[in-house]
Structure 1
Amino acid sequence: MQNKGVLFSLLAGLFLFQSCGINSNLMFRTPKGVKEVRDSIPLKPSAEYQISRDDKFTFMLYTNEGERIVNEMAGMNKEAIAKAEIEYVVRPDGKADLPILGSTLVAGFTVKQCEDTLAKLFEQKNGYNKPFVQVKLTNQRVIVFPGNGSTAKVIPLQNNNTTLMEAIALAGGIAERGKASKVKIMRVVNNVRTMYVVDLSKIENLQYADMIIQANDYIYIEPKEQVGQESLKIVAPIVSLVSSALVIITVLSTLK
């Protein structure tokens, strides 16, 4: 009996130790007593996205305010012209190495400001006649955790008006374990990542489905805690171990 008591004590201690890992994969839990931001949620960006370090972009340059584009669209220019789009990367110092212009500051500009700046530089430094510049950011994306960590996805933003509902749909929708009542959007505001909590389980919150997502947002749909299932995973091997140990003890007892 004493051996059995020691065995049960060890197994109980093992269970308590293993139980610390229950739902340990859950992220971004809100501490008790901390109020979540559920109002004053911006449905549209308060400001245009500014180009930052490590961003990638392409640009096209035309003279005469883009007259060539109009001519090609109208079929006046029949020549097939290859337009290879080359990606340029914004370095940590905020500059990018561009053809002809060389190292050029682009960080901190919106896309429109960047287009205007490049057009001005090409006109002033290189004598291009009324240059027309088109800039396109190529690495705009959001990260979506739909409620099951193994199905997280990085979603490229194909347009500037991608909604929260579209981003979730592109990620495959809310997972079976996900809580529609607790959708967390983490966004950089004034260089600080701020978290907004949206409840999509109620029809009266339909307006938040059309919330415009911004580049580099994190969308985290909080998973439901599965205490019973997680505990079963821990208990099952322990029960098996206990059963095996009891069989061994019983056999040894009969041999005495």
Structure 2
Amino acid sequence: MQSCGINSNLMFRSPKGVKEVKDSIPLKPVAEYQISRDDRFSFMLYTNDGERIVNEMAGMNKDAVAKETIEYVVRPDGTADLPILGPTPVSGLTVKQCEDTLAHLFEQKNGYNNPFVQVKLTNQRVIVFPGNGSAARVIPLQNSNTTLMEAIALAGGIAERGKANKVKIMRIVNNVRTMYIIDLSKIEGLKYADMIVQANDFIYIEPKEQVAQETLKVVAPIVSLISSALVIITIFTTLK
């Protein structure tokens, strides 16, 4: 009755007979990341093409602006509530487009002279399953050039149970989550080690099925119960 629980924690298993995508895997992003709802970002504003910091933007002095980072959240309607500008549409923009948009708005609406804006996304991350579900990690992307090997290393490497020949990259392409299969067990897979991961990627290293171990976990309590029952029966039989 409990046999259905064997290896029930395994995820994203490919049905038998289904062809797995192992070619046409993009090693670098084919397009820049676009800001979307629930993203978080910070920005710094300078005048005169970066000559000095505009400390009025947060009501703080220059030293405080340099030390403190304020995050802004993209609302479901695609806007972010920014100081001075108020609700500003940013969803769908790349980081560069967002910088240009904010620079234009600060110059047009507030008269800042040659504004220079730096935008940084602060919540970009990937989720890594290293081959043991209990060891899954959320890895923040500190830079835009984080490689697949770096992401796996930050998660502690491939677990003992993980299959190096079944590394599944699940990425959103044209609003659809697409799965790529990478084989890192052979030297030929070295070319994928420097693959650039993208925000919101799922990196799933398929675990090995442990039928014997899982079956033992299910059977052991039953065997123990039967053994205990036999001991009790033997004792009562002896007493008679």
Specify the TM-score bucket, using the shorter chain as the normaliser. over 0.9
Structure ID, larger Rg: 1
TM norm structure 1: 0.87
Match of 2:144 in 1: 160
Counterpart selection for 1:81 from 59, 63, 77: 63
The CA deviation string for residues 99-143 of structure 1, in whole angstroms up to 9 with x for no partner, is 010000000000000000000011111111111000000001000
Counterpart selection for 2:179 from 176, 183, 195: 195
* Structure 1 counterpart of 2:84, one-letter code: I
Structure 1 position 207 matched with structure 2 position 218 = no
- Matched positions, count: 231
Matched-pair identity in %: 84
Match of 1:142 in 2: 126
1:157 deviates by 0.4
Match of 1:176 in 2: 160
1:82 deviates by 2.2
1:253 deviates by 4.8
Kindly indicate which of the two structures has a greater share of residues assigned to helix: 1
Structure 1 position 238 matched with structure 2 position 222 = yes
TM norm structure 2: 0.93
> Is there any run of 5+ residues in structure 1 with no aligned partner, and where?
1-16, 70-78
Distance 1:107 1:64 in 2: 27
Q: Supply the RMSD in Å over aligned alpha carbons.
A: 1.5
Distance 1:239 1:82 in 2: 67
Q: What does 1:38-117 align with in structure 2 at a 5 Å threshold?
A: 38-68=22-52, 81-83=63-65, 84-117=68-101
> Is there any run of 5+ residues in structure 2 with no aligned partner, and where?
54-60
**Secondary structure of 2:41's aligned partner:** strand
The CA deviation string for residues 7-50 of structure 1, in whole angstroms up to 9 with x for no partner, is xxxxxxxxxx1111000000011111111111100000000000
The CA deviation string for residues 58-107 of structure 1, in whole angstroms up to 9 with x for no partner, is 001111111237xxxxxxxxx96222221000000100000010000000
Structure 1 position 151 matched with structure 2 position 145 = no
**Secondary structure of 2:149's aligned partner:** helix
**Secondary structure of 2:221's aligned partner:** helix
